[in-house]
Amino acid sequence: MFIEHAHGLLTASAKRERQAFRALRKMIRGNRVAINISPLCGDESAHVLQISDRRTCEAQPRHRIFIRLCDASRKLFAPLALAITLLGLSGSQTVAQQSFPDPPSDLTKIYFLSGTNDLAALPFESAITTVNVFQLAVEDKVTRVRINGPNAATILANQDLRFFVFVADRMDPPPHQLVRLTAGKSDRSLKISVIKGRKGYAPFDEDNVRLQRRTLQRLSVPAGPGRMIFVNYMELRPSQTLPPGEYAIIGDSLADIATFRVK
Q: How far apart are CA 246 and CA 263, in angstroms?
A: 9
Position 168 scores a pLDDT of: 87
Round to whole Å and give the CA distance between 223 and 221: 6
pTM over 0.95: no
* Torsion sign over Cα 79, 82, 88, 91: negative
Q: Is the pLDDT of residue 72 over 50?
A: no
Residue 160 · residue 223 · CB < 8 Å: no
Q: How confident is the model at residue 8 (pLDDT cuts 50, 70, 90)?
A: low
Confidence of residue 52 (pLDDT cuts 50, 70, 90): very low
Of 204, 212, 153, 214, the closest CA to residue 182 belongs to 204
Element (H, E) at 208: strand 208-209
First-to-final CA distance of the chain: 62
Name every residue whose Cβ is closer than 8 Å to that of residue 32 and which is 6 or more positions away in sequence: 51, 52, 53
% helix / strand / coil in the chain, to the nearest 5? 25, 35, 40
Main-chain phi, psi angles of 206, to 5 degrees: -65, -20
Q: What is the pLDDT of residues 80-127, one digit of tens each?
A: 444 444 445 444 443 344 578 899 999 999 999 877 778 999 999 999
Position 260 pLDDT exceeds 50: yes
Mean pLDDT score, 195-206:
94
Q: Higher confidence at residue 37 or residue 70?
A: 70
- Taking only the tens place, the pLDDT of each residue in 204-247 is 999 999 999 999 999 988 888 889 889 999 999 999 999 999 99
What does the radius of gyration of the chain's CA atoms come to, in whole angstroms?
30
User: Residue 61: enclosing H or E segment and its boundaries?
Assistant: helix 61-69
**pLDDT score recorded for residue 172:** 67
Q: What is the mean pLDDT of residues 178-198?
A: 96
Given a contact cutoff of 8 angstroms between Cβ atoms, the answer to whether 1 and 10 are in contact is: no
Q: pLDDT band at 164, cuts 50/70/90?
A: very high
> pLDDT above 70 covers what percent of the chain?
63
**Pairwise CA distance, residues 251 & 236, whole Å:** 13
Q: Across all residues in the chain, what is the average pLDDT?
A: 74
Please report, rounded to a whole number, the percentage of residues in the chain having pLDDT higher than 90: 47
Do 230 and 169 touch, CB atoms closer than 8 A? Answer: yes
Q: Look at 74 and 15; give whichever has higher pLDDT.
A: 15
- Confidence at 134, pLDDT banded by 50, 70, 90: very high
Q: Are 165 and 177 in contact (CB under 8 A)?
A: no
User: In a 3-state reduction of DSSP, which class is residue 93?
Assistant: helix
One-letter identity of residue 9: L
pLDDT at 174: 73
Q: Predicted confidence band at 20 (pLDDT cuts at 50, 70, 90)?
A: low
